[in-house]
Chain A
């Protein structure tokens, strides 16, 4: 099995989330090589977990006033605040037979190469079940998965230099009135890579690609135009609409 590594293309948050569906389906249908994709974003955004209630997670007035895109993902899990250049997001699109059926084990396995890459640049991180990548000081990132018949999507967002004060204004975990229980779950401190390493974001991504290519058979690739076009259509029809993003 040869992986493609795609590290190109800057897209809006709705197109990014739409790409996840299109690429997972292409792989499921046998029309895509197993792929590792690094994301490049256009603007600050919130990636909302599929089953989260919009108004429970997002400071609605603040995101409206500051043009923060809030987009519901295809995957479950929690809300992530993201800024271009301040986070590292990667996706793996894999054949189902390459992934453990044990879901808890599969999160650990599919994050391990990334954890090893971060360790190679001096970041002391570890997997924390179910789906977190953590540093002793707090959570660096989180993963989420989606399973199709013959395909698995595993995507992870990690904080490189996130403005955590802005995060607390955008997400309601920063509000006092959110119930204690909600805070308890969400308030796990966020740790940002830049506090611990000299490597810049591009160098960290390079280290990740290197580790991945060392461990698996991989070569550079790009997204076919029709994949991107399908994602743009799906973004307009779904991921940029209130009907999808605010349905819960």
Chain B
């Protein structure tokens, strides 16, 4: 299955998450008008969201995002986790 969800951060940026999944999240794409430093970590951020079962908790996703050595600018790990969960639920 493939679904997407978009989160508009209040006074911040827009984050769209596209998820391909069956019982697990197999492919995740994160796009939007946000900033990320260093930008080369974008692929790591997407990878951090992949492989989880579809009943993954918000806490687990937030921890996986925060484990990526990158600064999220205009959004935070919670926004990205929420958009990911909204896409698959």
Contact = CB atoms under 8 A, between A and B. Distances in A.
Interface of A: 49-53, 56, 74-79, 103, 129-130, 144-147, 179, 181-182, 184-186, 248
Given A103-B71, A144-B35, A248 B29 contact: yes
Contacts of A75: 35, 39
- Report the 10 A-B pairs with minimum CB-CB distance, sorted nearest first: A76-B35, A78-B33, A53-B31, A185-B14, A181-B6, A181-B8, A49-B33, A185-B8, A248-B31, A147-B37
Candidate in B8, B35, B71 with the most chain A CB atoms within 10 angstroms = B35
Contacts of A56: 16, 31
Contacts of B36: 51, 76
Contacts of A186: 14, 33
B33 A52 contact: yes
A181 B14 contact: yes
Contacts of A182: 6, 14
Contacts of B8: 181, 184-185
Contacts of B73: 76, 103, 130
A248 B18 CA distance: 11
Contacts of B52: none
B58 interface: no
Interface residues of B, number: 23
Contacts of A74: 39
B46 to A, nearest CB: 10
Interface in B1-43: 6-8, 11-14, 16, 29-39, 42
B27 to A, nearest CB: 13
B21 to A, nearest CB: 19
Given A76-B39, A147-B38, A181-B6, A51 B31 contact: yes
Interface in B41-68: 42
Contacts of B6: 179, 181-182
Given A52-B33, A74-B39, A146-B37, 17 more contacts: A50-B39, A51-B32, A51-B34, A51-B42, A77-B33, A77-B35, A79-B33, A103-B71, A129-B11, A130-B74, A181-B7, A181-B14, A182-B14, A185-B13, A185-B14, A186-B14, A186-B33
A78 B8 CA distance: 13
